Amino acid sequence: MAVSVGLGLADFPFSSAKAYWEWVDLAEVGGVDSLWQTDRLVSPIPHLECMSAMAALAGRTRRMKFGMNVASLGLRDPLLMAKQCATIDFLSDGRLLPAFGVGSAVAPDWGATGRSSKGSGKIADEAMELVTRLWREDSVTFEGEHFNYQAARIEPKPVQKKIPFWIGGSSKPAIRRTAKFGTGWQAGQETADELPPVLDAIKAALVHEERTIDSDHYGAGFHFRFGNWEDADLPKRTAAFEKRTGRDAKKHFAVGDAEDILKRIQGYAAVGISKFILRPIGLTDSDLLAQTERLVSEVIPEATKFEVRI
């Protein structure tokens, strides 16, 4: 089972669209497996809207896959989401990797729109069922607490007959949703040594649901930087991370040389993770491109040689 390495963006760190597309083009020719965009609507700093970004990537690229990490189904309408995903998958000839979650309870999107995150888990449960049914059924009738559909249908359907449905999160509800709906699972802030009990819980829940997830459909991600801990805005970034999460940034950011990044990947591979979303840290367009070039040339060729624990 081979390791695959994708790239992810949380915010939009580039100075322009031109710089962003240079980065995308580098990833396309450099053997990067996939590109991932965080879903955030309200923010004081730039963020791309994830579904618009997926559509743009469908037109710009020919080889790479791309996905949302993760789209909030506690906030987004399931019919529109199902239609957007089906359209993008159709136009990209089956390269979309949809990934979903409830949405962070502390995200500013809730307060800015006058909504509460309370009950968002139940909304997401209904939305996940609706999205999966709309992708495969010709007519969907559904009566729930939050959504009521009568003979809803979308065309064209996704090109991928078994379109992926990745789910993020390690809470008990997230594990339950993964077992019920997921075709893949993406870790959040967990370190490699925190993952075995989560993976065991997912696999036990899958047995209960009489479902399976392919052994190569478990993922994790982290930020990386070729350099040292004083580079770029790392002191500010790591301080903010530790304040927000209460976690040690040095266990969640890979900073150093290729060996340091590969060691982090290998640690995850040793517990069963084969899909990776790595996020470059840089202050300028040229810095971000240089970081990505080094990942492409020094890390990805070696990472694909790792053996993943099954």
Q: At 168, give phi and psi (nearest 5°).
A: -110, 155
d(CA 21, CA 17): 6
d(CA 34, CA 36): 7
Positions of the chain with pLDDT under 70: none
pLDDT recorded at residue 131: 98
Give CB contacts under 8 A, 24+ apart, made by 39-43. Answer: 39/68, 39/69, 39/70, 39/71, 39/72, 39/103, 40/10, 40/11, 40/107, 40/109, 41/75, 41/109, 41/112, 42/107, 42/108, 42/109, 42/112, 42/113, 43/11, 43/108
Tokens of 199: 């993976």
pLDDT recorded at residue 146: 97
- Of 82, 53, 54, 63, which is closest to residue 25 (Cα–Cα)? 63
Distances (CA, A) of 106 to 14, 109, 220: 25, 9, 22
- Round to the nearest angstrom and report the end-to-end CA distance of the chain: 8
Cβ–Cβ under 8 Å, residues 70 and 167:
yes
What residue segments make up the domains of the chain, in order of their start? Answer: 4-303
pLDDT recorded at residue 309: 87
d(CA 20, CA 280): 13
| Exposure of 47 in the CB half-sphere (CA atoms within 13 A) | 19
What is the 3 state secondary structure string of the chain?
CCCEEEEEECCCCCCCHHHHHHHHHHHHHCCCCEEEECCCCCCCCCCCCHHHHHHHHHHHCCCCEEEECCEECCCCCHHHHHHHHHHHHHHCCCCEECEEECCCCCCHHHHHCCCCCCCHHHHHHHHHHHHHHHHHCCCEEEECCCCEEEEECCCCCCCCCCCCCEEECCCHHHHHHHHHHCCEEECCCCCHHHHHHHHHHHHHHHHHHCCCCCCCCEEEEEEEEECCCCCCCHHHHHHHHHHHHCCCHHHCEEEECHHHHHHHHHHHHCCCCCEEEEEECCCCHHHHHHHHHHHHHHHHHHHCCCCCCC
d(CA 117, CA 109): 9
CATH class of 4-303: alpha beta
d(CA 260, CA 299): 10
pLDDT recorded at residue 244: 86
Q: What is the pTM (predicted TM-score) of this model?
A: 0.95
Lookup result for tokens 């240079």:
22
CA angle 166/170/172 to nearest 5° reads 110
pLDDT tens for each residue of 28-86: 999 999 999 999 999 999 999 999 999 999 999 999 999 999 999 999 999 999 999 99
